A and B are shown apart, each in its own frame.
Chain A
């Protein structure tokens, strides 16, 4: 209705608003960072202040608040008043949700548009169609923080709805197939698989762990210099209390220059880097150094070997492969030397 060309531009020109006395905004003499409002915004907010004062909750208030929100999606009072008006007038919440489909994509970065959607969904309680909406919205901005948080909130809030959860891993796979460096998708994978309880079909945790390790290893072999995949791998190993050492055979070839002499035997458990990969990969060197650091805690020769190798790897990071974090790698070297000081 707001976009209708026959409708006068200003609320002050519309006969159906004649009974309302608009209230100008108060501003004392020297305002801090005043905004040059457009005449349309001034007009709509003048009427909105009057409505908020009179307490009117009616259909025309929905029109008014929509106009304010379209000019300023961060107007939280207009959002709050709109929500209360929807309830007071028993308006159709599904119609409202349809309007939000448009506004959410238009104002992706506004906190309020997503908050409003949560409020609506807690009343409508039909979460499944929301997933398709979120997927459309992610097509506009595949890393939008609000959009992903909303998806996580929705899944968590309607935790018991199996239908809601069944396609979640496929959804993540699809996004990662398009962009294996999308950290929001990796984070969502962690949330779905490890942080939100055990779903039907995933009761065999050993199998889930194997599946996830295979997935992350394959992702690393496709794009070794991908911090998201390495962080996921570390996260899974740490939370499942699996020693990093068990992955050493897989990680080692990524920590070195490509070796063409190794015959290309396909090893599903340890996929190798491709000949075009940028090696050595700093994340692999770091991982391997962590393995040796652990080994350095052992007694005797193995401990000494672990210490030497960890130091060697950290030195290569500090001086060659990750120089921006030089101070950090040198700190790690100091720490391991201090921890292994011969006992007096």
Chain B
């Protein structure tokens, strides 16, 4: 096995980048108003992967939890989490505000909220489990896909994956028609071997992860006929591998440039398919090293502005597929991370917490 030497992985810097973002975002980020909880998830997730979340002051941890629970809303179409109070009018603490159609729970945000709360080791006594399955039921469309919010919003494979992850975390699949959903996933397969975001769309690294993770999260008795055949699996592996460049970075579509987030999407897909050892994880780490901003955070391409999304996914990529480093190199210690559950996209100990606390207590 080859071993390499890499520059230090700037753990403390990445943590402070995310802490800064948790404290406040500039007005240039206004277009993320409808996805704020997602940004919070990437920030908390970065700290979780780097093992520093439990060391944060108790006061901060409690207030983060409190804010997250504040986003759980209940309505006719079920319960779940909204991205932020961006559609909620000011009211006093004890006043109960009825959730309107325009302030409704959002499937993707609900997935990120549950993961975030698990990272903070919440006990989930406040989780409206029955409401969650109602939400999923009201978001599934005729063709098997899911809309982001009940009765509206775009539909694509991202939302379908979140619905699957939520059902898996609850250990309750009664909210979705799995067969219909998997039929939709199958219709998104492209001739290149990857999956596209809807039927007929171009193969895309992020969506391929979403598709594979969904298939493998589903209960085996429901997914058996949708598992890739031997030839299909080989074809998908070939395409995923072909996205890695000599630099070590991955692109998300054929002939595009390397982008740090695809080190996660493609690397995690390969892990799911049991093909991690076929690509060069050490070269990938050396590409990610070049995407680090020296004062913290990881960017899309070398030399650009860092953001929590690329920071989290780069670290997640390294957690799933760690580099082989020369143990004598003092920097090698800085690259050590706890392994990740590739299907839920959570650190193993966080995933174990979810499996224990998110399903309804059995009597």
Contacts and interface: CB of A to CB of B under 8 A. Distances in A.
Nearest to A325: B241
B31 A74 contact: yes
A76 B149 contact: yes
Contacts of B102: 52, 77, 80-81
Interface string B228-255: 0000000100010110111010000111
Nearest to A34: B24
Interface in A172-211: 181-184, 186-188, 190-191, 194-196
Contacts of B93: 28
Contacts of B239: 231
Contacts of B35: 74
Contact of B86 (A25, A81, A148, A181): A25
Max count, chain B CB within 10 A of own CB: residue among A35, A183, A227, A232: A35
B191 A239 contact: yes
Interface stretch (B125-133, B272-280, B288-296, B343-351): B272-280
Interface stretch (B65-73, B160-168, B332-340, B354-362): B65-73
Interface string A66-94: 00000111111100110000000000000
B255 A32 contact: no
Nearest to A329: B278
Determine the interface band of chain B, counting residues with CB < 8 A from chain A.
Answer: 35 or more
A31 B278 CA distance: 43
A228 interface: yes
B89 interface: yes
Given A38-B30, A111-B156, 20 more contacts: A25-B89, A27-B90, A32-B22, A33-B24, A35-B27, A35-B29, A35-B33, A41-B30, A72-B33, A75-B33, A76-B153, A77-B102, A115-B154, A148-B201, A152-B198, A187-B196, A191-B200, A324-B279, A324-B280, A325-B242
24 contacts: A26-B97, A27-B90, A28-B66, A30-B63, A32-B22, A32-B64, A33-B21, A33-B22, A34-B24, A35-B29, A36-B24, A36-B25, A38-B30, A76-B148, A80-B149, A115-B154, A145-B201, A149-B202, A184-B202, A227-B255, A323-B246, A325-B244, A325-B280, A328-B279
Interface of A: 23-38, 41, 45, 49-50, 52-53, 71-77, 80-81, 110-112, 114-115, 143, 145, 148-149, 152-153, 156, 181-184, 186-188, 190-191, 194-196, 226-228, 231-232, 234-236, 238-239, 323-328, 331
